[in-house]
Amino acid sequence: MKLIKIKKIMAGVLVAAAFLTAGCGQVKVGYVDVARVVDESPQLKTTVEEANKKLAEAQQEAEKAISEKGDNMSDEELSNTFQEQQKKLMGINQLYMTQIKQKMDVAMGQVAKEKQLDAVLESNKEQQSVYLGGIDVTDDVIAKLQ
């Protein structure tokens, strides 16, 4: 519940900042459905599939390493091995999440510049950040990520 409140507060802050920086003129706000972009963008789909493949491989390696050595390890060694494997999986996940975020940021930045938007917010059907007005740029971002 806190996350929803934080997102709403951040959206309000972004909109307020856009109003303040735009002066008395009209503020143009865009919104994007990030989940839809990830699902429909060929470039991001490929990155997600690659990430899932690498994570599955690392998971199998971890399970194999633990099962092969598990009987000969003390509880502490087993725990340390498990933690090392968890760190490896988290590192792989973080690497791919960073790649996805960077690609999204570039595409959204290009769309915002082309459409002369003052702000772009994340919004989807379940949790709308923009209730009235705004420009849906989801299809534009997907097109940039072809």
Q: What is the pLDDT of residue 1?
A: 47
122, β-bridge pairs? 32
Q: What is the pLDDT of residue 80?
A: 83
Non-local (6+) Cβ contacts of 15 within 8 A are 27, 29, 119, 121
| Per-residue pLDDT reduced to its tens digit, 97-146 | 999 999 999 999 999 999 999 989 888 777 777 777 888 899 999 999 98
Specify the 3-state DSSP secondary structure of 31: strand
Q: What is the pLDDT of residue 5?
A: 58
pLDDT reading at 6 higher than 70:
no
Q: What is the pLDDT of residue 85?
A: 84
| Per-residue pLDDT reduced to its tens digit, 19-55 | 555 555 688 899 999 989 999 999 999 999 999 999 8
135, β-bridge pairs? 30
pTM over 0.75: no
